Structure 1
Amino acid sequence: MGLLKKNPFGHYLILKKWLIRIFGVLTHRRFHGFNELKIEGSEIIKDLPDTNVLFVSNHQTYFADVTAMFHVFNASLSGRVDSIKNVGYIWQPKMNIYYVAAKETMKAGLLTRIMAYAGAISVERTWRDKGKDVQREINLNDTENIAIALKDGWVITFPQGTTKPFKPIRKGTAHIIKNHRPIVIPVVIDGFRRSFDKKGLRIKKRGILQSFQIKPPLDIDYDHESIEEIVQKLEYAIEQHPSFLKVIPREELDAMEELNKTRKWEY
């Protein structure tokens, strides 16, 4: 790697590599120490192509979710199946992993701006701004940036656009899938909202069993499936379709909502 080599967004790869290394070491015990991350299905990762892969996941914290993915993906690529034991895997991280994040979140402070350099694709949300509901047109530059990232590597996205459970899937994700035809890998996580504050930076409770399930690629007919059909497929894949509410006790949902009220830094 040349010292001055950049990715398509103008970020120096040597700087990005060191940021991933440092954050990887600093955050490892959050998933393998203070808490325990139970991983399933990571054998899929090593067989994926180097580019045009889209990971879709439910969302529980701003940053812990994507941090866990960086750990799991890099550990899997180094030959560790369903394990992040021994953080040495982060020394040579995959450099073309990106994640979609709200622009206002990534500009909230110096730390988030530094974290953005590690791979954030900052987008302007069309339905929410500074804690208020809004309606605005999709920023075409945001869509183009996601396309550039897919062409260069892997992209992680949280298609609900919020950490609140069972909120609707945003259609923008389905449009990206239909237009750019990536391999779509569903990820289902749990335990993160119990472990961390809403930003995913501060540990709220230790000894939590966190789960991280990687599912096989979705079978999508890019030519004939409608946007609505793809949205529904995503809802089922990340277990956020309304039908899943029927198997979750009302008491657990109420407890989840109360927990959300105590967590700071709302979108």
Structure 2
Amino acid sequence: MGLFKKNPFGHILFLKKWLIRVLGAMTHRRFRGFNELQIEGSEIIKNLPDKNVLFISNHQTYFADVVAMFHVFNASLSGRVDSIKNVGYLWNPKLNIYYVAAKETMKAGLLPKILAYVGSVSIERTWRSAGQDVKRQVRMSDISNIGKALDDGWVITFPQGTTTPFKPIRKGTAHIIKRYKPIVVPIVIDGFRRSFDKKGLRIKKKNILQTMEIKAPLEIDYDNESTQDIVSKIEYAIEQHPSFLKVLTPQQIKEQEELNKLREW
């Protein structure tokens, strides 16, 4: 790698590599120490192509969700199965991993700006700005930048656009899927909301079991399925469809209570 080689967004890859190494070493104990990250399905990661892969996930914190995925993806690519044991996997990290984030979030302070350099595709939200509801047109440059990231590598996105659970899926994600035809890999996370503050920077509680389930790629007919069909698939895949809010049976409540006890081992 040339010392000043850049990615399509103008970021120097040598600098990006060292940022990932340092930030990875600093955050590793958040997922294997203070708290424990239980991973399922990481073998799927190893079989994915090097680019045009879109990861869709539910969202619980601003930054910890993405940081955990960087750990899991790189650990899986280095041969670990459902484990992030030994942070040495970050010595040669995958440098073409990106994540979609709100532009105002990534400009709010020095640390977010550093995290943005690591791989943010910053977009202007069309429905929310400075804590207020707004209605804005989608910026075509934002769509193009997501496409540029897919052309170069993997992209993580949170199609609800918020850390609040069971909010509607934004149709923009479906439009991106139809336009760029990526492999779509669903991820379901849990426990991050209990262990971190909303930004995912401060550890709120220790000894919390965090979980990450990586599911098989979705089967999508890019040409014939409507955006609403794809939105529905996303809702079910990341377990954010309203049906997941159904009334639980006594047995399910008991199982949930046992799981909650396990999460606070």
- Fold similarity call, TM over 0.5: yes
- Structure 2 residue aligned with 1:69: 69
Deviations 1:45-101 (A, max 9, x none): 011000000000000000000000000000000000100000000110000000000
Taking a change above 3 Å as real, the CA distance of residues 81 and 137 of structure 1, as seen in their structure-2 partners, is same
Q: What secondary structure sits across from 1:225 in the alignment?
A: coil
Structure 2: runs of 5 or more not aligned: 254-265
- Structure 1 residue aligned with 2:263: none
- Structure 2 residue aligned with 1:81: 81
Taking a change above 3 Å as real, the CA distance of residues 133 and 30 of structure 1, as seen in their structure-2 partners, is same
Taking a change above 3 Å as real, the CA distance of residues 247 and 3 of structure 1, as seen in their structure-2 partners, is farther
Tell me how far apart the structure 2 counterparts of residues 203 and 118 of structure 1 sit (CA, whole Å). 21
Tell me how far apart the structure 2 counterparts of residues 114 and 190 of structure 1 sit (CA, whole Å). 25
Identity across aligned pairs (percent)?
76
Q: Does 1:100 align with 2:100?
A: yes
- Structure 1 residue aligned with 2:43: 43
Q: Given residue 83 of structure 1, which amino acid in structure 2 is its aligned partner? A: S
Tell me how far apart the structure 1 counterparts of residues 111 and 71 of structure 2 sit (CA, whole Å). 19
- Structure 1 residue aligned with 2:182: 182
Q: RMSD of the alignment, in Å?
A: 1.0
- Structure 2 residue aligned with 1:232: 232
Tell me how far apart the structure 2 counterparts of residues 4 and 106 of structure 1 sit (CA, whole Å). 24
Structure 1: runs of 5 or more not aligned: 253-267
Deviations 1:192-239 (A, max 9, x none): 000000000000000000000000000000010000000000000000
Tell me how far apart the structure 2 counterparts of residues 219 and 32 of structure 1 sit (CA, whole Å). 33
Q: Given residue 2 of structure 1, which amino acid in structure 2 is its aligned partner? A: G
Tell me how far apart the structure 2 counterparts of residues 91 and 213 of structure 1 sit (CA, whole Å). 24
Tell me how far apart the structure 2 counterparts of residues 244 and 102 of structure 1 sit (CA, whole Å). 27
Q: What secondary structure sits across from 1:101 in the alignment?
A: strand
- Structure 2 residue aligned with 1:19: 19
Q: Does 1:127 align with 2:136?
A: no
Alignment of 1:1-267 (within 5 A): 1-247=1-247
Tell me how far apart the structure 2 counterparts of residues 15 and 28 of structure 1 sit (CA, whole Å). 20
Tell me how far apart the structure 2 counterparts of residues 186 and 3 of structure 1 sit (CA, whole Å). 35
Tell me how far apart the structure 1 counterparts of residues 81 and 66 of structure 2 sit (CA, whole Å). 18
Tell me how far apart the structure 1 counterparts of residues 111 and 32 of structure 2 sit (CA, whole Å). 23
Deviations 1:231-261 (A, max 9, x none): 0000000000000000569xx9xxxxxxxxx
Aligned-residue offset at 1:188: 0.1
TM-score (norm 2): 0.93
Q: What secondary structure sits across from 1:113 in the alignment?
A: helix
Tell me how far apart the structure 1 counterparts of residues 104 and 139 of structure 2 sit (CA, whole Å). 14
Deviations 1:156-197 (A, max 9, x none): 000000000000000000000001000000000000000000
Deviations 1:77-136 (A, max 9, x none): 000010000000011000000000000000001111011000000000000001100000
Q: What secondary structure sits across from 1:70 in the alignment?
A: helix
Q: Given residue 213 of structure 2, which amino acid in structure 1 is its aligned partner? A: Q
Taking a change above 3 Å as real, the CA distance of residues 134 and 193 of structure 1, as seen in their structure-2 partners, is same
* Aligned residues between the structures: 250
Tell me how far apart the structure 1 counterparts of residues 247 and 82 of structure 2 sit (CA, whole Å). 27
Q: What secondary structure sits across from 1:82 in the alignment?
A: coil
Q: What secondary structure sits across from 2:2 in the alignment?
A: coil
Q: Given residue 164 of structure 2, which amino acid in structure 1 is its aligned partner? A: K
Tell me how far apart the structure 2 counterparts of residues 232 and 70 of structure 1 sit (CA, whole Å). 27
Q: Given residue 3 of structure 2, which amino acid in structure 1 is its aligned partner? A: L
Tell me how far apart the structure 1 counterparts of residues 90 and 247 of structure 2 sit (CA, whole Å). 38
TM-score (norm 1): 0.93
